[in-house]
Amino acid sequence: MAAAQQSTESLGHKNEKVGEVVSTKMAKTIVVEVTRRVAHPVYKRIVHKRKKFYAHDEKQSAQVGDVVRIVECRPLSRLKRWELRDVIRRAVQVGVEHPALEAEADTRVKKTIKRK
């Protein structure tokens, strides 16, 4: 048991970041945008800085808009050096509208086209 505990300690602390998924268009890869607030070096105002990280998503479980935690790993490709640890918060899924509402919207579009 002491050996197992010692091996986990030797792995060390890996860098973690929390951000929002902005793209899932690649196979098993997600793009995560991490935003942080820092003071401007001259003006001392708080500014938002953001950076995009490419992360490996083996199960393809993350969707656009999800808030996820990514962890540093060995280089997997030219840009991928992170992997998905877990999904913290799922994005709100937008459902399909009722067919009657869609028909009403279509008639409005047709009326605006006729006016032009």
pLDDT above 90 covers what percent of the chain?
A: 66
| Residue 10 banded pLDDT, cuts 50, 70, 90 | low
Collapse the DSSP code of 73 into the 3-class scheme (helix H, G, I; strand E, B; otherwise coil) and give the result.
coil
Domain that holds residue 74: 2-115
| CATH at 9 | 2.40.50.140
Mean pLDDT of 49-60: 97
How many structural domains does the chain have? 1
pLDDT of residue 67 exceeding 90, the answer is: yes
Nearest to 24 by CA among 59, 69, 49: 59
| Residue 4 banded pLDDT, cuts 50, 70, 90 | low
| pTM for the whole structure | 0.71
